[in-house]
């Protein structure tokens, strides 16, 4: 009897893991569609159509939607469903400086020699950010660059915090990464960070890194508010 109970628990554990993995896969698929602009801001999510398109039942779909609502990406309205949240100037102004300081802390905790060794790769990855016409390509290249930068940090809890915080504002990035001029300026900033790390000039690297996030923040605020000031001042 004890063996049967254990087997049941193992099977239930496997089912729970499988369900969680499916929910996460559905979440990532929905998020990818949001980032590609398939569902514009203010759009109501049609759960029936979306479940059919993705090829899943309503249960993992609703779990994924609830997860995105908790992150603020979707707006959950009781008994009415989910809408794509509006872009929030306040959210951008509050979150981007946090990400900047967390990343600055991450490279401060990293081995300077390891950062210097990563500098050539960071230069190459910065080149991959060149505009291709597909915002997702630029965004993926930018993600890869920052992942490589942070890989030298030994503090796993800090890296987890950075990842969680970035997810909050990830959907905003397509609003300015589609602008070739903005992307070219961002590439130059990323290269300056890599050069400073190669020369083991941490003060310059952290200053440029913080400036990169600050510039991105002001570009987004300008897009959201319709203002012209993207100076970052």
List phi, psi (to 5°) of 44.
-85, 135
Say how many Å lie between the first and final Cα of the chain, rounded.
Answer: 70
Q: Which domains does the chain have, with CATH numbers?
A: 2-84 (1.10.10.10), 89-225 (1.20.120.530)
How many residues in the chain?
233
Three-class secondary structure of residue 131 per DSSP: coil
Higher pLDDT, 17 or 26: 26
- Helix H, strand E, coil C: the string for 102-126 is HHHHHHHHCCHHHHHHHHHHHHHHH
Q: Distance between alpha carbon 232 and the CA centroid of its chain, in Å?
A: 21
Which residue is listed with tokens 């499988």?
Answer: 18
The arithmetic mean of pLDDT across residues 121-145, rounded, is 85
Residue 8 pLDDT: 43
Of 181, 191, 167, 184, which is closest to residue 222 (Cα–Cα)?
181
CA–CA gap between residue 189 and residue 193 (Å, rounded): 6
Of 214, 24, 23, 222, which is closest to residue 100 (Cα–Cα)?
214
Minimum mean pLDDT range among 6-15, 46-55, 106-115: 6-15
- Helix H, strand E, coil C: the string for 42-104 is CCECCHHHHHHHHCCCHHHHHHHHHHHHHCCCEEEECCCEEEECCCCHHHHHHHHHHHHHHHH
Residue 10 pLDDT: 38
Residue 9 confidence class, pLDDT cut points 50, 70, 90: very low
**For the segment 155-167, what is each residue's pLDDT rounded down to a tens digit?**
999 999 999 888 7
The arithmetic mean of pLDDT across residues 92-121, rounded, is 96
Residue 13 pLDDT: 46
Contact predicate 149/190, CB 8 Å? no
Higher pLDDT, 4 or 156: 156
Higher pLDDT, 200 or 67: 200
- Indicate if the pLDDT at residue 1 is higher than 60: no
Both structure tokens of 177: 């990464």
Residue 202 confidence class, pLDDT cut points 50, 70, 90: very high
Both structure tokens of 193: 């960070």
Residue 2 pLDDT: 43
The arithmetic mean of pLDDT across residues 163-181, rounded, is 74
Could you give the dihedral angle defined by the CA atoms of residues 160, 165, 123 and 126, in that order, rounded to the nearest 10 degrees?
A: 140
The arithmetic mean of pLDDT across residues 145-154, rounded, is 96
Q: Distance between alpha carbon 46 and the CA centroid of its chain, in Å?
A: 24
DSSP letter at 222 equals: H
């Amino acid at each position: 009897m004890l063996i049967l109970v254990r087997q049941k628990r193992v099977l239930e554990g496997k089912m729970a893991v499988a369900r969680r993995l499916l929910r996460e896969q559905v979440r990532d698929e929905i998020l990818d569609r949001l980032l590609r602009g398939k569902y514009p801001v203010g759009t109501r999510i049609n759960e029936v159509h979306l479940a059919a398109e993705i090829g899943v039942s309503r249960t993992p779909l609703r779990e994924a939607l609830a997860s995105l609502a908790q992150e603020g990406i979707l707006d959950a309205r009781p008994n009415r469903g989910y809408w794509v949240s509006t872009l929030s100037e306040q959210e951008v102004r509050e979150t981007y400086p946090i990400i900047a300081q967390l990343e600055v802390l991450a490279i401060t905790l990293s081995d300077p020699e390891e950062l210097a060794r990563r500098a050539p790769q960071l230069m190459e990855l910065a080149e991959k950010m060149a505009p291709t016409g597909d915002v997702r390509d630029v965004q993926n290249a930018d993600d890869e660059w920052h992942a490589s930068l942070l890989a030298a940090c030994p503090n796993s809890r800090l890296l987890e915090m950075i990842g969680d915080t970035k997810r909050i504002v990830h959907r905003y990035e397509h609003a300015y990464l589609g602008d070739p001029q903005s992307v070219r300026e961002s590439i130059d900033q990323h290269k300056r960070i890599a050069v400073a790390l190669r020369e083991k000039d941490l003060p310059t690297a952290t200053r440029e890194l913080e400036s990169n996030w600050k510039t991105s923040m002001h570009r987004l605020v300008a897009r959201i508010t319709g203002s012209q000031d993207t100076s970052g001042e």
